Amino acid sequence: MKGQMKKKKHTHITEINAGTSVNCDICNRDYTDSDEKGGFIFSTYAYCPVCAMESLNRIRDYGEEKFITDWCPKDKTFREFVIGYRGGDGIIKIISEHKQ
Ligand SMILES: [Zn+2]
C-alpha cells in the first residue's frame, strides 16, 4: 500500500482565553489567574480547592456526597474545570485546516 496513503490534513486548534472570570461559589475567591488544582461541583456550586477540603468531611458526615456531581480532574486547574462545567464559556477555539 506504499504510496497510496491519504494526504495528511493538519489541523490547528488555537485556544483563546476571552477572560472569563472564575470565582469560588462558596468563599468568592477569584481564581481567574490561578493555576491551583482541585475542587468539585456540589449541587450547582463550584467549590474551590480550599473550600472543597474544608467542606468534604462535613459533606460526608451528612451523607451528601451524592450531591457532588463532578470532581476537578487531576490534569486541570480549578479554573479550567469550572469553565468546562459551565459549558466552555470564555474559551474560543479556532480550528483551521491546512491541506497539503
Ligand atoms: Zn472557596
Spans of all domains in the chain:
19-99
Ligand 1 centroid to Cα of residue 63, in Å, is 21
- At 17 the pLDDT is 59
- Tens-binned pLDDT, residue by residue, of the chain (100 aa): 555 566 677 888 776 655 578 999 999 999 999 999 999 999 989 999 999 999 999 999 999 999 999 999 999 999 999 988 887 555 566 778 776 6
Ligand 1 centroid to Cα of residue 91, in Å, is 23
Ligand 1 centroid to Cα of residue 39, in Å, is 9
Ligand 1 centroid to Cα of residue 99, in Å, is 46
Q: Is 96 helix (H, G, I), strand (E, B) or coil?
A: strand
Rounded CA-CA distance 19/68 in Å is 27
Please state the φ and ψ torsions of residue 3, each to the nearest 5 degrees. Answer: 85, 0
pTM across the whole model? 0.68
